[in-house]
Amino acid sequence: MPMTELFDLPISLKPRDYLNVLPVSVIEISASTNGIREESGHDQESSRSGFSQFPHEIAETCAQLFLRDCKHVVDPFAGWGERGDAMKRNGLTYSGYDLSDDAIKSAKERYDVDNIKADSRTVDVPTHDGLITCPPYWDLEQYQGKGLDKVRSWNEFLHEYREVLSRFASKAERGATYCIASGDWRDKGIYYDLTFQTESILKDLGFIPHDKVIISRLTISKVKIMIPQAKRLGYTVKVHETLSVFKKK
């Protein structure tokens, strides 16, 4: 909001009372206009052939609502810079780590975000009071570098994912806020429950639930290719992810 508009606000209201995204429990994602890879044409091909940028609506909600009072926000899987951009534009100190040279370059070129090339399994984690991230989807999307998505099995992925969250949680201050966007998927008849696993890990690490947001892609997803199989096998087509928000005890 421009500063001139702030001066016109009633004296009892603060800038944080005005959000770019309506703070509701289901947030509908708009179509990407500048994604690293545009949303696939799901009428003809599976979404697994590519991946899209982190939704700006979710990055803004985290920056303006959940993380607004944080002194230092970290991101173990920083990606293409959308989250770092939102943190920076909202005046938050942000440290993002990623293994992909392409992602780091894109974050700098698109958003002037200086993500750090590092493996979150070994990086020296700074003390922080906020975290925002979206973990890699094992054996589903293709990422550059030898990250968690490249491990041999789902169980090994979960082990290493837990280790990453544990390493970061050990440096989180009491009361720290963690915002993690994740989704579930099926592959070859197996259901991968990444959201449940994420929430279970955080609870084990001493975090308590603070909020949960459904990230809906219903209005922009074209799921015709998946509907016949879903009907035949008796399950739903996934058109949403979940933003899980936790506070450290």
**How do residues 198-237 score in pLDDT, each as one tens digit?**
999 999 999 999 999 999 998 888 788 888 888 998 999 8
Nearest alpha carbon to residue 47 among 37, 55, 61: 37
**Residue 31: its pLDDT value, please?**
80
Higher pLDDT, 169 or 222: 169
pLDDT mean over 35-53: 44
Nearest alpha carbon to residue 161 among 189, 134, 143: 134
Please tell me the pTM assigned to this model: 0.86
What percent of the chain has a predicted confidence (pLDDT) above 90? 67
Nearest alpha carbon to residue 37 among 18, 50, 56: 50
Query: What are the φ/ψ torsions at residue 187 (nearest 5 degrees)?
Result: -150, 125
| Cβ atoms of 137 and 185 closer than 8 Å | yes
Cα Rg for the chain, rounded, in angstroms? 18
What's the angle, vertex CA 137, arms to CA 142 and CA 185, rounded to 5? 115
Q: Each residue of 214-223: pLDDT tens digit? A: 999 988 887 8
**Residue 50: its pLDDT value, please?**
41
Give 111-149 as a 3 state SS string.
HCCCCEECCCCCCCCCCEEEEEECCCCCCCCCCCCCCHH
Residue 46 has pLDDT above 70, yes or no: no
Lowest mean pLDDT among 21-35, 44-58, 78-92, 232-246: 44-58
Q: Could you give the 3-state DSSP secondary structure of residue 91?
A: coil
pLDDT mean over 159-181: 98
Distances (CA, A) of 173 to 93, 170, 225, 244: 15, 8, 46, 18
Residue 49 has pLDDT above 80, yes or no: no
Rounding to the nearest 10 degrees, give the CA dihedral for residues 178, 183, 187, 190: 70
Nearest alpha carbon to residue 186 among 142, 241, 219, 140: 140
Q: Each residue of 50-103: pLDDT tens digit? A: 446 899 999 999 999 999 999 999 999 999 999 999 999 999 999 999 999 999
Mean pLDDT, the chain, as a whole number?
86
Beta pairing class for 26-28 and 185-187: unpaired
Calpha distance 111→113 (Å, rounded) = 5
